[in-house]
Amino acid sequence: MKLFQDSLINRKFNRIIYLKYNFLAEKTEVLSEDLLQVEKRLDLVKQVSHSTHKKLAACLQGQQGTDLEKRSKKLPLTILAQCMVEGAAVLGDDSLLGKMLNLCGESEEKLAQELLIFELQIERDVVEPLYVLAEVEIPNIQKQRKHLAKLVLDMDSARTRWQQSSKSSSHPSNVQQGGAKADSLREEMEETANRMEICRDQLSADMYNFVAKEIDYANYFQTLIEVQAEYHRKSLEILQSVLPQIKAHQEAWIEKPSYGKALEEHLAISGREIAFPIEACVTMLLECGMQEEGLFRVAPSASKLKKLKASLDCGVMDVQEYSADPHAIAGALKSYLRELPEPLMTFELYDEWIQASNIQDMDKRLQDLLCTCQKLPADNLNNFRYLVKFLAKLTEHQDANKMTPGNIAIVLGPNLLWTHSEGNMTEMMTTMSLQIVGIIEPIIQHADWFFPGDIEFNLTGSYGSPVHTNHNYNYSSMPSPDMDQSERKLQHDQSRRPLSVATDNMMLEFYKKDGNVSQNYCLYFIFDQIMQSW
């Protein structure tokens, strides 16, 4: 018993001596330099694979590990599709929104199925292999590396103890006893060295296999992109197949907004030649507003105007309701003209219109205005002609409605022509009042010269409006340049008066005070009309 205790004590002592020795001496390294580099790479690949797996799994919308049906029902796209289909059932096929919701709901359901297939494939071919790499394969290699380090430690300890025993057994007094002990320690050292060798070979094989399989690991990411590309391709096919149906329903829908839309766009969608708000308002005014004093000048009720514009946007106009309120109809027409993205008389021709208005000779001004007018795009020209013919007809009743060509030019001019950049107030008062009046007034006065022939206002037959005939019975046709001065003087009425005279006379009609005209009143009147037109 005493001998066993002494042996145990000696072993512990030798272990302490070994640890002290190895702390001071360099540890035995059994891996090659290449494998040491692989060991460092193992840890980096593990970190990257773990992080990528975690983030990729977070991108999946379905619940991992659940059965197919349950996973499909939990997809946000499936829930959205169900909501849309239910909404379509509530609204019905008579509603455009109902049609849209039904089409979109069916498409979202198809997209959800494609997403489910995509996520299942990604989970099987990318997410799970990354998990195995980061959490199983590399950790197993690292575990073997730790075990090898322990075996190397045991081998070094056994070798050290054997070497010490060999040294002590060389003393003459310890030859017999030391020899037996040295043999035992040598056997222990050889056994640990053998275990270490087996572990090292296995570890080396696994590390080399890891290096050789890096191309397989890289294929995970190639698979990710390929599967994503296929998913998006199929999703795009679904979306592209439903878009023509959606557009067809929208184009077939009768109720289309017109305010704020480009003229050519509105006409193309509605299949009309004259914009609906223009025709609807004009035909109504021909029936109920020709005698109304201050038409286009008197502001309507804001709520009534808003309601009328909204109904016109829906392609509806209640004749009975608005026949008693011509100012609301006139306001809706002004608003439509002003809310066009581009003025009816176009941005492109703005400078030409202004240049024509600056010409003092009326004959030449009219010729230039006609030339510019003929440059208008076909849609703009048709609608401008329609509107001018109506305005000319309105002036037939100027004794009652007080709307002379000059007055109409002031209140409607800024809604027919404006520039890209708005100037200051003074510029607005001079340019928009004087110059635009110089454009619009003579066009209205000589409407039948600018646009010969009669015109049917009620194109759709909705309101029973009259056919336009030559309405300029108060004005002669445009005078021939060959007229002598006396003939010109006989025709020097409102149709031939210079712009300055026309403007002055127009102001006189509205602002007479004790027989004197105040210049400040005139300026205020122009400013007031501009504000109302805006």
Using one digit for the tens of pLDDT, what is the confidence trace for 91-137? 988 888 999 999 999 999 999 999 999 999 999 999 999 999 999 99
CA distance 414 to 406: 13
* pLDDT, mean of residues 460-488: 39
pLDDT beyond 50 at 37: yes
Question: How many C-alpha atoms does 401 have within 13 Å on its Cβ side?
Answer: 28
pLDDT tens for residues 357-373? 999 999 999 999 999 99
Per-residue pLDDT band at 169 (split at 50, 70, 90): low
pLDDT for res 487: 42
Q: Does domain 32-168+180-252 have CATH number 1.20.1270.60?
A: yes
pLDDT for res 240: 95
pLDDT tens for residues 250-299? 777 766 788 999 999 888 888 889 999 999 999 999 988 899 999 999 99
Question: Which structure tokens are listed for 471?
Answer: 């309405």
* pLDDT, mean of residues 64-86: 86
pLDDT beyond 60 at 9: no
Per-residue pLDDT band at 140 (split at 50, 70, 90): very high
pLDDT for res 372: 95
Question: In the chain, what percentage of residues exceed pLDDT 70?
Answer: 75
Q: Which helix (H) or strand (E) element contains residue 468? A: strand 467-468
Q: Where are the domains of the chain?
A: 32-168+180-252, 263-450
Indicate the length of the chain as a whole number.
534
pLDDT beyond 90 at 423: no
pLDDT for res 475: 29
Pair 53, 220: CB distance under 8 Å: no
pLDDT for res 426: 53
Per-residue pLDDT band at 322 (split at 50, 70, 90): confident
389 closest CA partner among 309, 317, 336, 466: 466
- Fold identical between 32-168+180-252 and 263-450? no
SS3 471: coil
CA distance 155 to 427: 101
Measured between alpha carbons, how far apart are the two ends of the chain, in Å? 117
pLDDT beyond 60 at 58: yes
Q: Quote the strand ranges of 97-180, DSSP E.
A: none
* pLDDT, mean of residues 421-430: 54
pLDDT tens for residues 147-156? 988 988 888 8
Question: Which structure tokens are listed for 79?
Answer: 């829930």
pLDDT beyond 80 at 10: no
pLDDT for res 254: 65
CA distance 51 to 53: 5
Question: In the chain, what percentage of residues exceed pLDDT 90?
Answer: 47
pLDDT for res 408: 94
Pair 513, 521: CB distance under 8 Å: yes
The domain defined by 263-450 folds into Phosphatidylinositol 3-kinase; Chain A (1.10.555)
pLDDT beyond 70 at 66: no
CA distance 506 to 43: 92
Return the amino acid letter for 393: K
CA distance 167 to 175: 10
CA distance 85 to 80: 9
